[in-house]
Amino acid sequence: MLDIKFIRENPDIVKENIKKKFQDQKLPLVDEVIALDAENRAAIAEAQELRTQRNKLSKEVGKLMGQAKKDPSKLEEAEAVKAQVKAQADRLAELEQKEVELAEKIRKILLVIPNIIDPSVPIGPDDSCNVEVQRFGEAKIPEFDIPYHVDLMESFGGIDLDAAGRVSGNGFYYLLGDIARLHEAVLAYGRDFMIGKGFTYCIPPFMIHGNVVEGVMSQTDMDAMMYKIEGEDLYLIGTSEHSMIGRFIDQILPEEKLPQTLTSYSPCFRKEKGAHGIEERGVYRIHQFEKQEMIVVCRPEESRDWYEKLWQYSVELFRSLDIPVRQLECCSGDLADLKVKSCDIEAWSPRQQKYFEVCSCSNLGDAQARRLKIRYRDENGKIQLCHTLNNTCVAPPRMLIAFLENNLQADGSVKIPEVLRPYMGGKEFLEKV
The amino acid that residue 340 corresponds to is V
In Å, how far from its chain's centre is CA 364? 8
194/217 Cα distance (integer angstroms): 25
Bridging pattern class, strands 260-269 and 200-202: parallel
Annotated catalytic residue, options 107, 135, 181, 285: 285
Q: Containing H/E element for 62?
A: helix 27-68
- Catalytic residue status for 357: yes
Beta bridge partners of 347: 325, 356
The helix or strand, by DSSP H or E, that contains position 357, with its residue range, turns out to be strand 354-363
Question: Which candidate in 360, 371, 375, 405 is catalytic?
Answer: 360
* For helices 177-196 and 398-407, angle between their N-to-C axes, nearest 10 degrees: 100
Catalytic residue among 154, 191, 241, 270: 270
326, 371, 398, 405: the catalytic one is 398
Q: 326 an active-site residue? A: no
398 is catalytic: yes
Q: Report residue 140: phi and psi, to 5°.
A: -100, 150
How many helices (H) and strands (E) are present in the chain, helices listed first?
13, 18
Q: Find out whether 228 and 235 touch, Cβ atoms under 8 Å.
A: yes
- In three-state secondary structure terms, 354 is strand
Instruction: Return the bridge partners of 383, or none.
Output: 377
Residue 285 among the catalytic residues: yes
Rounded to 5 degrees, φ, ψ at 298 are: -145, 180
Spatial contact of 161 and 173, defined as CB atoms under 8 Å apart: yes
User: Do 243 and 295 contact (CB within 8 A), yes or no?
Assistant: no
Catalytic-labelled residue, pool 319, 357, 377, 413: 357
Catalytic residues: 270, 285, 357, 360, 398
